[in-house]
Structure 1
Amino acid sequence: MRTLKWTVLVLLVAVVVVLGGLETAHWTLPLENTQQAKFDSIIVLGTPSKADGTPSPEQRERVLEGVRQWKAGVAPVLIMTGGAAHNKWTEAHSMAVYAEQQGVPASAVIEEGQAQNTVQNIYYSNQILQAHGWHSAEVVSSKSHLPRAGMILSHYPAIKWKVDGSARPAEYGWWREAVFEFNEAQYCWTLRRKGFPKSKFMPQ
């Protein structure tokens, strides 16, 4: 019986150590490369829309945070980025429509509807920045997603950037958030060890 208790204790300690290591590695990733408070643009990273094309809870909160930052004068334009990566709805369009419903004029919203993942979100958004002669961006996403976004942005030294986290959707409990956090931490740990796969979308 005592042996079983010690085995369980050792396993619990090991789990805590592993989780702690993952979280430490996750949140020591870069979250900005500038101290500036104003930017040329606010980039809102996409996440799937609901089956009817309306914003999912996570997408809604990302857009609301982007709108809050826009109304605060952080940048004059919102770039909504995300293609139809998970269903038939283009994420950028769903986000743009919702932002306009929150009072942002259509003239202040740019839709980037090609990206299929976070790497492509940054790649195509950077093309928009270059086309307009812009050099800085605040990048909005879910809080657990910020370190991975920062890892990608660090491959673009010409951009002055920082990341900004959206609120947790009221529909999501702490357990669901913990699962998101763990999955992101594990993914970032792998990327730190192995690097990003080579592609035209990721500067090496």
Structure 2
Amino acid sequence: MRLVRFFLALLLLAIAAVAINRAAIPNHNTAVTHFDTIIVLGYPANPDGTPSPDERERVLEAVRQYKAGIAPAIIMTGGAAHNRFVEAHVMAAFAISQGIPAEAITEERQAQNTIQNIFYSSEIMRSHQWHSAEVISSSAHLGRAAMILQAFPKSHPGLAFDWRTHPASWPAEYSLIRRAFTDSLEASRCLQIRIFGFPKSRFLPKG
């Protein structure tokens, strides 16, 4: 019985640590409410090349924000990371179908993960002399994205920019169990990053 209580206490402690860490992650580094661009973080397309549920909701939120005048441009970021379809292109085509002008969209086609999404998007921003961005992703994913954004100026001060994160809606077809599992997994990854740091790479050197 004592052993059961001990492991239950450890489990509760772990849950508390994950929750506290998630709550401590900032969702912005600026007070501005209008930005030079919107960055939409990539997600794999369906096997047939159509937008997957998460990908669809991220783009739809970007469409809403663009039409609300939050920013005059959109960067779609993501390469063919998990199948043969370039995430940025799938997202851009869907955004255009929703009424976004093609000239307002820049496709970043190289990134293979979230760290690279931020790195390559910031290079695009520098080339356009853009200094601020609203970063859109699935709500569960935004904690990790914010940690990357927070760490980015330390590794690449020349590519730093003002930012805030903004969540897309959960896909309607996702069950509460799937949402809870996804959210818990991402929150755990955030705590892991807090303890061990990011994997060292040229995109975000560990430090």
Q: TM-score, normalised by structure 2?
A: 0.92
2:76–2:89 CA contact under 8 A, matched in 1: yes
User: What's the RMSD between the two structures over aligned residues?
Assistant: 1.4
Comparing 155-164 with 69-78, greater Cα deviation is found at 155-164
Provide structure 2 residue ranges, at least 5 long, that are not aligned to the other structure: 154-159
Contact in 1 for aligned 2:28/2:163 (Cα 8 Å) = yes
Tell me the residue number matched to 1:202: 204
The answer for unaligned runs of 5 or more in structure 1 is none
String of CA shifts for 1:66-114, please: whole Å, max 9, x gaps: 1111000000001000000000000000000110011001011110010
Residue aligning to 2:178 = 176
**Within 5 Å, which residues of 2 pair with 1:1-204?**
3=1, 8=4, 11-157=7-153, 158-202=160-204
Identical columns (%): 51
For this pair of structures, how many residues does the alignment match?
200
**C-alpha separation between the residues in 2 aligned to 1:24 and 1:74?**
30
Q: Mean alpha-carbon deviation: is it higher for 172-181 or for 51-60?
A: 172-181
Shift of 1:156: 3.5
Larger radius of gyration: 1
Cα shift at 1:17: 2.9
Amino acid at match of 1:200: R
Structure 1 runs of 4+ off > 2 angstroms? 6-17, 155-158
For residues 131-158 of structure 1, what are the alpha-carbon distances to aligned partners after superposition, in whole Å with 9 as ceiling and x for unaligned? 0001100000011111111111113343
- The one-letter amino acid of 1:111's match is E
Aligned residue type for 2:16: G
Q: SS at the partner of 2:141?
A: helix
After superposition, give the CA deviation of every residue in 1:163-202 in whole Å (9 maximum; x if it has no partner). 0000000010111111111111111111111111221111
Cα distance in 2, alignment partners of residues 19 and 181 from structure 1: 12
TM-score w.r.t. structure 1 length?
0.93
Looking at structure 2, the residues matched to 162 and 92 of structure 1 have their Cα atoms a distance apart, in angstroms, of 20
* Amino acid corresponding to residue 83 of structure 2 in structure 1: N
Are 2:152 and 2:204, in contact at CA under 8 Å, matched by a contact in 1? no
